[in-house]
Amino acid sequence: MNTNLIYPLRAAKHCMRQLLFVRHLLMFAVMLSRRLPAIIAQCWRDTASGDDSHLADNAFFSCIYLCVDYFLLTFAQTKNKGNMQKIDLEGKTLFVTGAAGFIGSNLVKRLLHDTTHARIVGIDNMNDYYDPALKEYRLKELGDGGGRFTFIRGDIAHRDTIDRIFHDYKPAVVVNLAAQAGVRYSITNPDAYIQSNLIGFYNILEACRHSYDNGQTGVEHLVYASSSSVYGSNKKVPYSTDDKVDNPVSLYAATKKSNELLAHAYAKLYNIPSTGLRFFTVYGPAGRPDMAYFGFTNKLRRGETIQIFNYGNCKRDFTYVDDIVEGVVRIMQGAPEKQAGDDGLPLPPYAVYNIGNSSPENLLTFVDILQQELISAGVLPADYDFEAHKQLVPMQPGDVPVTFADTSALERDYGFRPSTPLREGLRRFAQWYREFYGEGGN
Ligand SMILES: NC(=O)c1ccc[n+]([C@@H]2O[C@H](COP(=O)([O-])OP(=O)(O)OC[C@H]3O[C@@H](n4cnc5c(N)ncnc54)[C@H](O)[C@@H]3O)[C@@H](O)[C@H]2O)c1
């Protein structure tokens, strides 16, 4: 080699190494900053319990876990490159179930905004689990999407309906969000969960399977909603998709875990690329009235008392709906790649991700911020006596004390993590509420 080139090349190589080193340092710092609160909390608990004999051990092992996590992450990043099938949504038919629902309607809106030639077909049975007027309102907001959105009022538990839709529209990407949601409702209404979450999901899987019949291109990606509730009362936080989730504490959670198992079997047997998304407590404008932030608001404006479970000792990873939708849209465009195993049979093109804010908030802090934002938006008067309308009560069956998402896999594979601050999200909810229900919430 020309000796004149050797020195500039060496310098460039040296420079690259240094850049790489700085990048690794930065990544490590980011991981450390996310884990540090948990490590400090553990040390604090040890000290507060009066038994600090394990303090040094716990701190030491937390640091070791952090280092191992870091190296696994960098290893996975190298290994994962190129292991994804990119999907261009333009010109395709996208099928969204639960399209009049909270997340579904926001997803349809976003898909209409982001694409110019995609056709979106939505289905919803408009059930009255909560006020159907809210579902009608969301649909009205969507309109017909400039002729690109077709809404079908129908039930995913009806096999014929689903088969007909797949036959008529031939969707390339399917996002299954239709489900009977809610943990507490599953205690009194189990049938709804079996119908929508199990039979309905099975119908979707069967339709995906037959979409490849007679050499058709078929479904390129099935994305479906799972839930953070599959983690049950797991003690280890943050919840990682690598954790064991075999101990559901509600029927709702059991159906969501079943969805993941069924999707895995269908991915293996019929090579259907599928991705399950474990959403963490989603909130936002035109959200679900059965969820705490919405229910609290309704009660407070009627002058009723709100009940704060587990005496306020609950932590939730509240995730703003736009962040959820951003995650879903990114994931729709990257399916797990179809690959053959050593035996010549398909390796299941299957993945599961957490989508959560990765920053759990105490329920009492959450209520406090909500109150402030409700006053700012004019939903409640400035002199509202909150203390007189608050009651601390014990834990409810099916509830879990904490939810906390580990989103490192989502960041690694899709370069995204939710980031909307709670105050900002609750402000937008309060402003929407004021607009929708009027001043004083009337
Ligand atoms: N919102 C959250 O905090 C959260 C958290 C974890 C998981 N999820 C999951 O995300 C998905 C969407 O949740 P969401 O908050 O938008 O709930 P949502 O109740 O607002 O939306 C679900 C929609 O599905 C419809 N639906 C129910 N059963 C149906 C059926 N058999 N056929 C057709 N339509 C049916 C409902 O009418 C509703 O409009 C659900 O699968 C839910 O389990 C939500």
Boundary-marking domain end, from 59, 80, 101: 80
**Residue 390, Cβ neighbours under 10 Å: how many?**
17
Q: Give 10-residue mean pLDDT values along the chain (442 residues).
A: 52 59 61 58 58 56 52 47 86 99 98 98 98 98 98 98 98 99 93 98 98 98 98 94 96 97 97 98 98 97 95 94 98 97 92 97 95 98 96 85 95 96 98 88 48
SS3 category, 1: coil
Do 367 and 397 fall into the same domain? yes
Do 36 and 172 fall into the same domain? no
Supply the DSSP symbol for 389.
G
Boundary-marking domain end, from 60, 80, 100: 80
Relative to the CA of 178, which ligand 1 atom is closest? 24
Boundary-marking domain end, from 25, 54, 80: 80
Task: Give me ligand 1 centre to Cα 64, in Å.
Answer: 40
Pocket of ligand 1 (CB under 6 A): 98, 100-104, 123-127, 135, 155-157, 177-181, 196, 200, 225, 227, 279, 281-282, 288
SS3 category, 355: strand
Examine residue 442 and state whether it is found in any structural domain, yes or no: no
Examine residue 36 and state whether it is found in any structural domain, yes or no: yes
* The pLDDT value given to residue 86: 98
- CA nearest ligand 1 atom 11, residue: 177
Task: Give me ligand 1 centre to Cα 103, in Å.
Answer: 7
Cβ(308)–Cβ(293) below 8 Å: no
Examine residue 96 and state whether it is found in any structural domain, yes or no: yes
- CA nearest ligand 1 atom 39, residue: 101
Do 37 and 88 fall into the same domain? no
* The pLDDT value given to residue 109: 98
Task: Give me ligand 1 centre to Cα 152, in Å.
Answer: 16
Relative to the CA of 196, which ligand 1 atom is closest? 31
pTM recorded for the entire structure: 0.84
Examine residue 366 and state whether it is found in any structural domain, yes or no: yes
Do 349 and 205 fall into the same domain? yes
Do 169 and 280 fall into the same domain? yes
Tokens read off for 194? 């079996």
Do 51 and 114 fall into the same domain? no
Cα dihedral 418→421→423→425 (10° resolution): -30
- CA nearest ligand 1 atom 28, residue: 179
Helical residues (DSSP H) of 115-151, grouped into ranges? 132-142
- CA nearest ligand 1 atom 35, residue: 178
Q: How remote is the C-alpha of 230 from its chain's centroid?
A: 12
- CA nearest ligand 1 atom 9, residue: 225
Do 308 and 404 fall into the same domain? yes
CA angle centred on 282, ends 276 and 287, rounded to 5°: 120
Do 113 and 9 fall into the same domain? no
Relative to the CA of 224, which ligand 1 atom is closest? 41
Residue in the block written with tokens 């904490």: 402
* The pLDDT value given to residue 184: 87
Q: What are the two backbone dihedrals, phi and then psi, of residue 54, each rounded to the nearest 5 degrees?
A: -95, 5
* The pLDDT value given to residue 81: 43
**Residue 14, Cβ neighbours under 10 Å: how many?**
10
Do 128 and 24 fall into the same domain? no
Examine residue 276 and state whether it is found in any structural domain, yes or no: yes
Domain containing 177 — which CATH number? 3.40.50.720
* Consecutive H or E run containing 270: helix 251-270
Examine residue 146 and state whether it is found in any structural domain, yes or no: yes
Relative to the CA of 256, which ligand 1 atom is closest? 43
List the domain range (segments joined by +) for residue 88: 84-437
Task: Give me ligand 1 centre to Cα 180, in Å.
Answer: 6
Q: How many angstroms separate the CA atoms of 166 and 298, rounded? A: 40
Q: How many angstroms separate the CA atoms of 331 and 339, rounded? A: 19
Task: Give me ligand 1 centre to Cα 124, in Å.
Answer: 9
Task: Give me ligand 1 centre to Cα 69, in Å.
Answer: 34
Number of structural domains the chain divides into: 2
65 catalytic residue (yes or no): no
Do 132 and 260 fall into the same domain? yes
pLDDT digits (tens, 9 = 90+) for 98-137: 999 999 999 999 999 999 999 999 999 999 999 999 999 9
Do 400 and 416 fall into the same domain? yes
Examine residue 58 and state whether it is found in any structural domain, yes or no: yes
Examine residue 238 and state whether it is found in any structural domain, yes or no: yes
Do 95 and 40 fall into the same domain? no
Q: If we measure between CA atoms, which residue out of 197, 334, 203, 210 comes closest to residue 271?
A: 210
* The pLDDT value given to residue 45: 54
Angle of helix 201-210 versus helix 251-270 axis, rounded to 10: 10
Catalytic residue among 130, 193, 202, 252: 252
